[in-house]
Amino acid sequence: MTDPSSTSKLSRRSILVGVAAGPALTVAAGAVVAQTATTAAQQAQTALRDAKGTKLVLLGTSGGPGPGRTRKMTSHVMLSNGAAYVLDCGIGVIDQYALTGIQFPALRSIFITHHHADHNIEYGPLLVVGWINGMHLDVRAFGPPPLKQMTEDFMRAYKTTVDFWAEDFKMKPLVEVDVKEVSEAGPVMQDDNVKVSAVIVEHPPVKPALGYRFDFKDRSIVFSGDTAPSEAIAKLAKGADVLVHEAMHVPALESYMRAEIAKGRPVRFEDYLAHMKADHTPVEDVGRIAQDAGVKTLVLSHLVPGIDGITDDAWRSLAAKYFMGDIIVGKDLMVV
Ligand SMILES: [Zn+2]
Ligand SMILES: [Zn+2]
């Protein structure tokens, strides 16, 4: 685990570098962002260091492929008994993973829910950057087809790059990754820490799109993935400790999209809304599903729209209409 004081030293240094290099106004804003990020990272590191039992870290909590936001694209890591399990690989997964202080040799398995870019675009880079930082060569990957072919194609594309470092540092090159494709509901894998199972969710036209359940010895964690309101998720999550569910705030999404279209985004409001409603779950329905499943804690993540300015209360109150348990509005690097 990384010593938090070294991270804070580094960040102070980057802030100072920023002060020397950039115009005053940008620097002030950048410094605030850097400080906030450091604080969240330090909090995550402390929480993981003091943790007893399995922990989940929300690495990125924004839904969709919007870059440059306060919230990163979707990714998570679970840490149990010193082993790390990553679920989804939106842009930001590598940096956010590193900020938790979890070391790359701890990474055992990677799970992909479906092949939208906000869930898989940094999967290949995670393998290569993970490898150079000590990830073991027997790391495994799980996800819908064609994950095997995608992994092989990526490794082929990066063979030269991998080989340069392998030669330079006398390292065994990362040549292939053990991939298991998941195309139906049922058991996915089991090791000494966890038993993983999956269901098919509703996310047209993406087929199959998966939800996952992780049964650790001390704790069960379920991920909806991206889905319209799903019976399968309510069933999968029966009695789970934690349900991490995607959530859409419809009124906020409507005003966000109207503003985007006014700025020239080439999409019709009705078409966009119809797609979102067929593919995603309004936060009220998330509350209903969590209540149905009888989970202890509901974590709202993959927030749509994943922009600043929607208060925690605005998210929570809609889910709380139907769900009586604990509701957590996800934030990047939050440890649950
Ligand atoms: Zn998504
Ligand atoms: Zn999706």
How large a percentage of the chain has pLDDT more than 70?
Answer: 89
Amino acid symbol at 276: M
Gap from CA of 135 to ligand 2 centroid (Å):
27
pLDDT at 21 over 60: no
Gap from CA of 205 to ligand 2 centroid (Å):
9
Mean pLDDT of 302-322: 96
pLDDT at 29 over 80: no
Quick one: pLDDT at residue 32?
A: 61
Quick one: pLDDT at residue 34?
A: 64
Gap from CA of 241 to ligand 1 centroid (Å):
23
Q: Which class for 257: exposed (0-12), middle (13-18), buried (19 or more C-beta within 10 A)?
A: middle
Gap from CA of 209 to ligand 2 centroid (Å):
8
Gap from CA of 227 to ligand 2 centroid (Å):
8
Strands 178-181 and 186-190, sheet pairing: unpaired
Quick one: pLDDT at residue 75?
A: 98
Quick one: pLDDT at residue 107?
A: 98
Gap from CA of 304 to ligand 1 centroid (Å):
9
Quick one: pLDDT at residue 125?
A: 98
Mean pLDDT of 15-26: 36
Phi-psi label, residue 239: left if phi above 0, alpha if psi -120 to 50, beta otherwise: left
Locate 279 and state its tokens: 């593919």
Residues 72-82 pLDDT 10s = 999 999 999 99
Gap from CA of 16 to ligand 1 centroid (Å):
36
Angstrom CA distances, 83 to 226, 244, 259, 294, stand at 26, 20, 44, 28
SS3 of residue 225 by DSSP: coil
Gap from CA of 85 to ligand 1 centroid (Å):
19
Establish how many alpha carbons lie within 13 A of residue 211's alpha carbon, considering only the half-sphere containing its beta carbon. 26
Give the separation between CA 90 and CA 124, rounded to whole angstroms. Answer: 11
Residues 240-262 pLDDT 10s = 999 999 999 999 999 999 999 99
Locate 189 and state its tokens: 């894998």
Quick one: pLDDT at residue 160?
A: 97
Quick one: pLDDT at residue 50?
A: 84
- End-to-end Cα separation, the chain, in angstroms: 18
* Radius of gyration (C-alpha) of the chain in whole angstroms: 20
Q: What are the beta bridge partners of residue 180?
A: 142
Nearest listed ligand to the Cα of residue 207: 2
The per-residue pLDDT of the chain, averaged, comes to: 91
Locate 164 and state its tokens: 């340069």
Gap from CA of 114 to ligand 2 centroid (Å):
7
Nearest listed ligand to the Cα of residue 119: 1
Residues 95-124 pLDDT 10s = 999 999 999 999 999 999 999 999 999 999
Nearest listed ligand to the Cα of residue 247: 1
Measured in whole angstroms, how far is the alpha carbon of residue 63 from the centre of its chain? Answer: 9
Quick one: pLDDT at residue 33?
A: 61
Quick one: pLDDT at residue 30?
A: 54
Residues 125-173 pLDDT 10s = 999 999 999 999 999 999 999 999 999 999 999 999 999 999 999 999 9
Nearest listed ligand to the Cα of residue 246: 1
pLDDT at 24 over 50: no
Quick one: pLDDT at residue 51?
A: 87
Would you place residue 66 in the very low, low, confident or very high pLDDT band (cuts 50, 70, 90)? confident
